[in-house]
Amino acid sequence: MNKRQTRLFAIASTAIASLVFIGMTIDSHRQFPTLTNAQNITPAVRSGQDVWHKYNCINCHTLFGEGAYYAPDLTKITQHRGEQYLQAYMRDPSQFYDEQRHRRLMPKQNLSEEEIKNLIAFLDWVSKVDNQGWPPRPILVTGASIPGTDMAAAPKEGGEAPPGARPQTGNENPIALGERAFRSATPACNACHSIAPGVNMAGPSLAGVGSRAEKLVSSPDYKGKAKDAMGYIRESITDPSAHIVPGAMYSANGVSFMPNTYGKGLKPEQIDQIAAYLATLK
Ligand code: HEC
Ligand code: HEC
């Protein structure tokens, strides 16, 4: 190629690449209303977005992978956590996390009930946007090596509280207490169970166990005695072999590999609290 041909070649390839780029951009914009379910943007969703901006949630969290990487990505949060959990969490995050153990904490925002309701509507709309698989994996920052677990942070039942830990006040939210008992039971539930979707360890992932249990108890495959989701979870804790999750690595000869000692080791109210917590995982 001589100089003139080289120049022509460069100009032509740039022009073609630009046209393709512009075409794809226009195409993406045309798809936005469908991908974002624009018709579902209710006044509550809009107000929730205003609350999100007002309190600068994005300074710590990400949505669609955008924002700060200090706190977990919330793009799909309403699909992983039920409304009750989110309500209780936003009223007082300190009941769920401990600054000493987690080395970071979400500050209490003193949100009104109205703001919390709208935030949940907004986050729920976000969770239903077809983000075509982006971000490729949930960003989980809760200081653990395995997503959704928190082994390093699990204190043993009856163990020494870390210095400066919040004193137990006795009037705490049962879901928050359940979340804590889940980590502090002996052996810790999160030694075998992640709450991140698809992360199966010695036990199956408990992501979505609330909705799964609800369907299971009324299906013909169910072998136990429970009548509802809470009952199923309680039964799973006190009598793991009553109904066994299918999977070769979970049981042998009809006996679950999950310890059958929790019925004695945990107090009845702790079992209720854990069940209340797990039932919120939708
Ligand atoms: C100063 C930083 C900060 C701000 C601001 C903040 N958060 Fe958080 N948030 C956190 C941290 C840190 C966690 C997780 C604690 C952990 O995992 O150790 C968290 C956790 C959460 C969770 C629970 C996630 C889960 O998986 O259980 C929700 C929901 C949440 N934040 C919502 C919000 C909303 C809504 C706002 C704005 C109103 C907000 N956050 C503002 C730091 C922040
Ligand atoms: C040593 C590992 C281990 C520990 C510790 C453990 N589990 Fe399990 N868990 C399992 C296994 C394996 C299964 C699947 C077999 C079965 O259904 O029992 C299971 C099943 C479950 C199920 C049923 C899940 C479903 O999808 O239907 C629930 C609920 C559950 N465990 C809750 C807990 C709770 C709560 C704790 C702590 C109090 C706990 N587990 C501790 C191993 C464990």
| pLDDT the model gives residue 164 | 44
Summarised one tens digit per residue, pLDDT across range 196-245 is 888 888 889 999 999 999 999 999 999 899 999 999 999 999 999 999 99
| pLDDT the model gives residue 142 | 45
Cα separation, 8 vs 11, whole angstroms? 5
- Other CB atoms closer than 10 Å to residue 185's CB: what's the count? 23
Question: Which residue type occupies 273?
Answer: Q
272 CA from centroid of ligand 2 (Å): 15
Cα separation, 64 vs 96, whole angstroms? 24
Q: 138 falls in which pLDDT band (50, 70, 90)?
A: low
165 CA from centroid of ligand 1 (Å): 19
Q: 101 falls in which pLDDT band (50, 70, 90)?
A: low
C-alpha distance across the termini of the chain, in Å: 64
Question: Are 242 and 225 within 8 A, CB to CB?
Answer: yes
Cα separation, 150 vs 143, whole angstroms? 7
250 CA from centroid of ligand 2 (Å): 9
Cβ-proximal residues to 45 (8 Å cutoff; 6+ apart), any chain = 118, 121, 122, 125
CA dihedral of 256, 257, 258, 263, whole degrees rounded to 10: 60
Q: Is 153 in the pocket of ligand 2 (CB under 6 A)?
A: no
105 CA from centroid of ligand 1 (Å): 8
Over 60: is that where the pLDDT of 68 sits? yes
| pLDDT the model gives residue 119 | 97
| pLDDT the model gives residue 72 | 84
Among all bound ligands, the one having the nearest atom to the CA of 178 is: 2
Mean pLDDT of the chain: 84
Question: Are 183 and 102 within 8 A, CB to CB?
Answer: no
Question: Are 52 and 119 within 8 A, CB to CB?
Answer: yes
140 CA from centroid of ligand 1 (Å): 11
Over 90: is that where the pLDDT of 98 sits? no
Q: Is 259 in the pocket of ligand 2 (CB under 6 A)?
A: yes
Q: Is 154 in the pocket of ligand 2 (CB under 6 A)?
A: no
Question: Are 119 and 53 within 8 A, CB to CB?
Answer: no
Residue with the nearest Cα to atom 20 of ligand 2?
Answer: 203
Mutate to test the pocket of ligand 1, among 106, 109, 111 (most ligand atoms within 8 A of CB): 106
Q: Give the CA count within 13 Å in the CB-facing half-sphere of 219.
A: 11
Answer positive or negative: Cα dihedral of 267, 257, 101, 275.
negative
Q: Is 251 in the pocket of ligand 2 (CB under 6 A)?
A: yes
